[in-house]
Amino acid sequence: MGALLTHRLPGPSAPLISGATGAAAVGGDPFDSGMWPSHRREFLGDPTAWRNDPAVTVLAPAAAEDSGHVPFVVDATDVAAPISRIVVTIDYSPFPHAITFRPGRARPFLGFGVKYEVGGALRASAETGGGWLVGAAYVNALGGGCSAPAAAHARPDWQDGFGELRARLWADTGRLRLNLRHPQDTGLADGIPAHHLTELALLDGTGAEIASLDLHEPLEENPSLTFLLPPELAAGPIEIRARDNQGNRFGGIVRGDG
C-alpha cells in the first residue's frame, strides 16, 4: 500500500520528496536530534520498546516553500500489528505535539499540513501492542510559520467563512478528504490570542466512532485532512465532528460519490 500511494503522488519523486526512515536507522536517530529523547518521554511515555521502522512511511517535501503550509503523508498501512494511535511530533517547534491520530476502524493513514518554525524532522510514532514504531522525514525551512499571524486576519470579512466544512468521499478507494475554514492561531503573533482546533472525529451512519484526532497549534490554517476508509465504510455516510479551544463546534455529513 505504501509504495503504491507513493507512486501516485503528483510531480517528480526524489529529490523533491523525502521519504521514510530507512532500515539503516533502526535502533537510533538518523537526524541526531537533541529534542527527540525529551519528546519520547513527554509524548510517548518514555518507552523502552521503540524503534525506527520503514513500515511507518512519512512523506514530505525536502524543503518548505511556505512555512505556514508544509504537507505530509503518514502511511502505516504496512504495519502488520494493530495500531492504537499515531503521535505526530516536530523536533524543533514551540509546539512540538502536532497530532494524535487514533485510526480505530479507518486505515492507519493520514494526510495533513503543519506550520514550521524552523527546519527539522517530523516524526510519526505508531503504538502497537509490542511497542512503538517510528518513521520520520526532515524538512528544510526558513521558519516563522508558528509565529506569523493567520492570513485570514488580513481580510476584514474573514469571519464570514469561518467554520465552513467541505468534504468528499471516494467510494471506490475509501479516500476521504476534508477541509475546514479556521485561522489556527497559535497565540504567538502579537495581539492575536490562540484559536485552534482541538479535536476531530469521524462517525459512521449509526453514530459510532470510526476514528478520532487530537489536534494542536502546529496544524496549518484552514486545515485539510485525508483519510483512508475500509470497503465496508467507503460508501458512507460519514459524519464529521470537530471542536476548537474556544468551544466552537463544527460538523457535517459526507456520502460516497461512487
List Cβ neighbours of 148 (8 Å cut-off, separation of 6 or more). 67, 68, 189
Predicted local confidence at residue 186, as pLDDT: 82
Does 123 have pLDDT greater than 50?
yes
For the stretch 30-67, pLDDT in tens is 887 889 999 999 999 999 999 999 999 999 999 988 98
Which cell numbers hold the place of 241? 465532528
Least confidently predicted of 20-24, 113-117, 194-198, 203-207? 20-24
- Residue 74 neighbours by CB under 8 Å, 6+ apart: 56, 57, 58, 59, 86, 88, 101, 108, 109, 110, 111, 112, 124, 135
What confidence tens digit (pLDDT) does each residue in 131-163 have? 999 999 999 988 777 777 677 666 667 677 889
Cα–Cα distance for residue pair 93/97, rounded to 1 Å: 9
Q: Determine whether 103 is exposed, middle or buried from the number of CB atoms within 10 Å of its CB (0-12, 13-18, 19+).
A: buried
pTM above 0.85, yes or no: yes
- The superfamily (CATH) of domain 2-254 is SoxY domain (2.60.40.2470)
* CA-based nearest residue to 184, from 212, 213, 216: 216
Please tell me whether residue 126 adopts helix, strand or coil conformation.
strand
When pLDDT is averaged across residues 15-19 and rounded to a whole number, the result is 47
Q: For the segment 64-122, what is each residue's pLDDT rounded down to a tens digit?
A: 889 899 999 999 999 999 999 999 999 999 999 999 999 999 999 999 999 998 889 99
